[in-house]
Structure 1
Amino acid sequence: MPEGHTVHRLAAEHQRMFGGRRVAASSPQGRFAEGAARVDGRVLVEADAHGKHLLVRFDDERTLHVHLGIYGKYVFGAVPAPEPVGAVRLRLAGAAGFADLRGPNACELLEPGDVKVLRDRLGPDPLRADGDPEVAWRRVGRARTPIAVLLMDQSVVAGPGNIYRAEVLFRRGIDPRLPGRRLTREQWAGIWDDLVVLMAAGVRAGRIDTVRPEHMPEAMGRPPRVDGHGGEVYVYRRAGLPCLVCGSEVRTVELAARNLFWCPGCQPSAV
């Protein structure tokens, strides 16, 4: 599932391509035909993101809400747009190009009140100017749940996924199994600040890189990582390999139905 930086990139691309302009909307697949008809010919006022949710507001105050889920995918292209290929749920088209959406978990039109309900159930987003770490801390600081689980709970923090949670905990030297209520405020502040920096870098680069300069391939004389799920990382999908920092074997375990990766040397047990 795409992590929050990807959705913020999608919002920026919608704004660049369609912002302030009328768009043509259609549902070649037919599953969003009614919604597309309501959007067709409207001005796209603003494209925004909150966590993993794309929110595209039109001039009638309705908002297109898209959650990609596991299989959702966007393809952008130049005009003239080709004939749709495959199950295109929604096509937006304008003078600057087109955007095809396939396979999303959610594609719906929301009224203003519904948008508020959606935002209210999401935690703060480290990529948003209004993201408030204290709001998340009020839940984290009293939770018995492991911090690795809390960081994947979108009602606690909106945006991070499996890669960011593993990497930020490694970078902060925190045992991922540590209950939230045993974190200090300073540790939480460090986690949040690192998420802000790492996820903003992900927006700029279009991929996830979490390795510090001294641990990059050219600095260490090692081959670059080859993986479609991210760039240079410390522990994510490196189970059984030596830690880039201390040499300990990176471990993995299933936690809350997701694979968790950590280094027992750099993240000593605190459970």
Structure 2
Amino acid sequence: MPEGPEIRRAADAIGDVLVGEVVDTVRFGLPRLRKYARQLRGQKVVDVETRGKAMLTHFDHGYSIYSHNQLYGVWQVVEGKKLPNTTRSMRLLLQTADHSAILYSASDISVWPTEELSEHPFLQKLGPDIMDRRLTWRAVAARLEDARFAGKSLSVLYLDQVFLAGNGNYLRSEILFDAGLDPKRTAADLTRGERGRLARSTLDISRRSYDTGGITLAPQLSNSLQRQGLTREWRRFYVFGRADYPCYRCGSEIRREEVGSRRLYTCPGCQPRDAG
């Protein structure tokens, strides 16, 4: 499933071609939504916003399209009106005079009066968006002390969209590794220094992933591995997807485990179980 950085990058690509433009073609692939096409056609897009893994396309007449990529959804932006040749199911098409933005395969799509979005059952539960540049590490650290979250293990907390929206499976493994913390510890177990370190890692790793198109490694390390001939797949992550391979920092063998039916990767050398 795409995580916060990927959704924000998609929103930016869509915003580059839609914001400020009149949408002259609106097509919904889901029959229940087709009644809204006429209502949106001919309106100007004023913003493309993300809230965690959800995207909101706002129109100037006070309506918005909510979409969530779910597991298999993907956005594509193309120049002109000729659509790509694909076997994917088109769920939403927005076209201006010059570009097309197409959402494939997702089904969690709805149209809302913009002023009523606060009542959306998913959006109203979300915590702060990790891709919001106004979010500070101190605000993240404060949430780690919040009674709603302090008793949860970090492995559970870092998939909780109420805690922070936009976190997902690869970010969880990478953030906890960067902070040097055992995922079995709870937020309440952390020292003040550890909370600060985790909060900084949360923003550093997620924003680095956005800036690099999905690479969480420090640029110097990633570039060094590239010069050694490693493909992007093997110079992308510190631990995620690298079970049984040596840690880039300490050489320990990366471990994989299942937590809540989701895979989690850790380094026993950098994230010792007896810490705290």
- Provide TM-score, normalisation by structure 2: 0.87
Asked whether the 8 Å contact 1:241–1:250 carries over to 2, the reply is: yes
Counterparts of 1:124 and 1:240, CA distance in 2? 35
**Aligned ranges for residues 13-28 of structure 1 at < 5 Å?**
13-23=13-23, 24-28=25-29
Assess if the C-alpha contact under 8 Å between 1:217 and 1:223 holds in 2: no
Please report how far the alpha carbon of residue 98 of structure 1 lies from its aligned counterpart in structure 2 after TM superposition: 0.1
| Aligned residues with identical type, % of pairs | 28
Inter-CA distance 171–132: structure 2 relative to 1 (3 Å threshold): closer
Contact 1:25 1:39 in 2 (8 A): yes
CA-to-aligned-CA distance 1:102-121 (integer Å, 9 cap, x gap): 12141111223432234441
How many angstroms does 1:71 deviate by?
A: 1.0
Give the one of 180, 183, 187 matched to 1:180.
Answer: 187
Report the equivalent of 1:197: 204
Aligned residue type for 2:91: R
Q: Which runs of 5+ in 2 are unaligned?
A: none
Counterpart position of 1:163 = 170
Q: In structure 2, which of residues 221, 227, 230 is the aligned counterpart of residue 215 of structure 1?
A: 221
Letter in 2 for 1:212: A
- Larger mean CA deviation between 35-44 and 149-158 belongs to 35-44
What do the CA deviations read for 1:114-166 (whole angstroms, capped 9, x no partner)?
32234441111222134355555455324222112111111101112111111
State how far apart, in whole Å, the 2-side matches of 1:155 and 1:132 are: 17
- Equivalent in the alignment of 2:110: 108
Asked if 1:253 is matched to 2:257, the reply is: yes
Secondary structure of 1:216's partner?
Answer: helix
How far 1:201 moved relative to its partner? 2.8
Cα distance in 2 between the residues matched to 1:236 and 1:35 = 41
Q: Deviations over 1:15-52 (max 9, x none)?
A: 21011121021125545312333211111111111111
Q: Which amino acid in structure 1 is aligned with residue 15 of structure 2?
A: Q
In structure 1, the residue corresponding to 2:46 is in which secondary structure?
A: strand
In structure 2, the CA distance between the partners of 1:79 and 1:221, relative to structure 1 (3 Å rule), is: closer
Q: Structure 1 residues 139-148 or 159-168, which shifts more?
A: 139-148
Q: Offset of 1:264 from its aligned partner?
A: 0.6
Q: Is the 8 A contact 1:124 1:135 kept in 2?
A: no
The match for 1:131 is 135
Secondary structure in 1 matching 2:91: strand
Name the amino acid aligned to 2:76. Answer: V
Q: Distance in 2 between matches of 1:213 and 1:21?
A: 36
Contact (CA 8 Å) 2:81, 2:98: kept in 1 or not? no
RMSD of aligned alpha carbons = 2.5
Other-structure match for 1:77: 78
Asked if the contact 2:246–2:253 (Cα under 8 Å) also holds between the matched residues in 1, the reply is yes
Query: SS state of the match for residue 250, structure 2?
Result: coil
Tell me the TM-score normalised to structure 1 length: 0.88
